[in-house]
Chains A and B, each alone.
Chain A
């Protein structure tokens, strides 16, 4: 079966750095997405990785290792507004998006 694993919840301190991991087992791979979802709101796109390596976009970076079925989202200089759920999703061989359950990130002052 297809499976995406990410931690249920993480806590970090304002100004610090946090890494949210995602491992996946899917039938084929056409890219991995990270989305941010604030409580009560729809998800918003953060990043897309299809090749191995690190993609940096401001305070957020996303890494992919296809051989390991592994990705992480790195958030630097954490701000209180970064408190949200972070969803990992993989596009499989049929171009269907397989979603992780999301990681709830709690930022403390």
Chain B
């Protein structure tokens, strides 16, 4: 089945530094990838839609200058959290859409990246 690899799984950084998270589709091409954030005991919140070769589409309330998204190839999207602060500590998950067994465009998720900003 389709696999999405996300790296790193865990990252701890100091306040003010930048952190880059990578999301790769391993056995399929993904022109569109999605970045979510999930706080403890809450549902997934879509942050932005990453489009290969063009600018990302950000959801309302998400600062595009703080959460930089680059989708340079059909298999790689990166999310950079710039000048991270403790309130940015969260679980960040990427996903890509692929054709599932049912014929539907199923979202396959990466394993997630847990960011802790000290």
Contact B109–A43 (Cβ < 8 Å): yes
Q: Which residues of A contact B34 (CB under 8 A)?
A: 97
**CB interface residues, B 27-56, toward A, < 8 Å:** 34, 42-44, 46
**B107 interface residue, CB < 8 Å from A?**
yes
Count, chain B residues at interface, CB 8 A: 21
Q: Which residues of A contact B107 (CB under 8 A)?
A: 33, 35, 43, 45, 97
**Separation of A87 and B106 alpha carbons in the complex (Å):** 14
Least CB separation from A6: chain B residue: B43
Q: Which of A48, A95, A101 has the most CB of B within 10 A?
A: A48
Chain A residues proximal to chain B, CB less than 8 Å: 31, 33, 35, 40-45, 47-48, 50, 87, 95, 97, 99-102
